[in-house]
Amino acid sequence: MTDQFDRENIYDVAIIGSGPGGLTAAIYATRAGLKVLMIERMAPGGQLLNTEEVDNFPGFPDGTTGVELAQKLEKQARRFGTELKMGEVIETNLSGSEKMIKTRDEVYKAKSVIIATGESPTELSAPGEQNLKGRGVSYCAICDGAFFKNKNVAVVGGGDSAVESALYLSRLASQVTLIHRRDQLRAVEYLKKRAIDCENLEIKYNTVVKEIQGEQKVESLLVEDVNTQARETLNCQGIFVYVGAHPNTDFLSNQLDLEDGYLVTSETMETNLKGVFAVGDVRKKELRQIVTAVSDGAIAAFHAEKLLS
């Protein structure tokens, strides 16, 4: 690692994260002739990689998969010249005209930065959760569902992601139990109907998980009715948690304005620091969808290019 930089090694735009917002920003910025670096800690695509079916993205009348859409966006970004580096960003200095981004292995500098780090799943904080992570406790049905073929699994949550995951798992598992703390699901109507009509999917309303039980792997769940406090033990070999998410902003070290942990931006996607933009789920906004992340990315890249020119 070095702290000395040749002028030629300074990027016009550095994009942290590679979800649909970040990839779109890369496409627009490279097409504008800018030198673009994208830093990703896992695999390009972000939450797209955890999404089985994408039915509401324009241009796909028959739908597509999250993985397929991610691959196409990455291929397009690379075609225009985006340089992709793998690594986890652990430190940033974004206040100057040249922004510093530090991963565990490298230090990069850029004239502008687009933050597209998205969200991470919120944990249940139930006894047994930490000990059994990766041994029956999962936060991604698409990633881990295949391990539970012909087994009993539970999904915790009542939103779109929870119901979509429960329906996906119903095609693999023998029995799926959807556990929701309220008296009705929050998912959109067509997903609710599919869940209610699914033969091997049972919905437990007004129910919370009190403990995840098992020694070396998940064996059962202790659940409680929120109204009567009656408890029961569910036979279960896997539990998939979908109770919300929190923005990935810890690495920013309080340099940028936040609201509830999310980055506050203007309509141009710029934060309170000049030349620093935020797009996608990490940004404070009302609707977090693939199409809004893509829109954010296009706007941020356009204004980054405008600022640099």
pLDDT tens digits, one per residue of 250-265? 999 889 999 999 999 9
Question: Where does the pLDDT of residue 4 fall: very low under 50, low under 70, confident under 90, or very high at 90 and above?
Answer: very low
Structural domain includes residue 5: no
What is the domain extent for residue 126? 121-244
pLDDT value of position 8: 56
Instruction: Look at residues 244, 265, 281 and tell me which one is the last residue of a structural domain.
Output: 244
Query: Residues near 302 by Cβ (< 8 Å), separated by ≥ 6?
Result: 28, 32
pLDDT value of position 61: 94
Structural domain includes residue 145: yes
For residue 27, is pLDDT > 90?
yes
Same domain, 94 and 134: no
Query: Residues near 229 by Cβ (< 8 Å), separated by ≥ 6?
Result: none
Tell me the percentage of the chain whose pLDDT exceeds 70. 97
CA 149/CA 169 separation, integer angstroms: 8
Same domain, 59 and 83: yes
Q: Mind telling me the catalytic residues?
A: 140, 143-144
Instruction: Look at residues 200, 222, 244 and tell me which one is the last residue of a structural domain.
Output: 244
CA 110/CA 112 separation, integer angstroms: 5
Question: Where does the pLDDT of residue 153 fall: very low under 50, low under 70, confident under 90, or very high at 90 and above?
Answer: very high
Q: For 25, how many CA atoms within 13 A lie in the half-sphere containing its CB?
A: 39
CATH of the domain at 154: 3.50.50.60
Tally of domains in the chain: 2
pLDDT tens-digit map of 31-59: 999 999 999 998 999 989 888 888 889 99
Structural domain includes residue 289: yes
For residue 242, is pLDDT > 90?
yes
Tell me the average pLDDT across 162-170.
96
Instruction: Look at residues 201, 220, 244 and tell me which one is the last residue of a structural domain.
Output: 244
Structural domain includes residue 3: no
pLDDT tens-digit map of 284-304: 999 999 999 999 999 999 999
Same domain, 223 and 134: yes
pLDDT value of position 5: 43
Structural domain includes residue 178: yes
Question: Where does the pLDDT of residue 1 fall: very low under 50, low under 70, confident under 90, or very high at 90 and above?
Answer: very low
Q: What is the pTM of this model?
A: 0.84
Q: How many helices (H) and strands (E) does the chain have?
A: 6, 19
Structural domain includes residue 132: yes
Question: Where does the pLDDT of residue 269 fall: very low under 50, low under 70, confident under 90, or very high at 90 and above?
Answer: very high
91-100: which pairs have CB atoms within 8 A and are 24 or more residues apart?
A: 91/251, 91/253, 92/251, 92/252, 92/253, 92/255, 93/255, 94/252, 94/255, 94/256, 94/273, 94/275, 94/276, 95/255, 95/273, 97/275, 98/10, 99/14, 99/275, 99/276
Structural domain includes residue 66: yes
Same domain, 178 and 236: yes
Same domain, 221 and 165: yes
Same domain, 127 and 217: yes
Tell me the average pLDDT across 227-246.
97
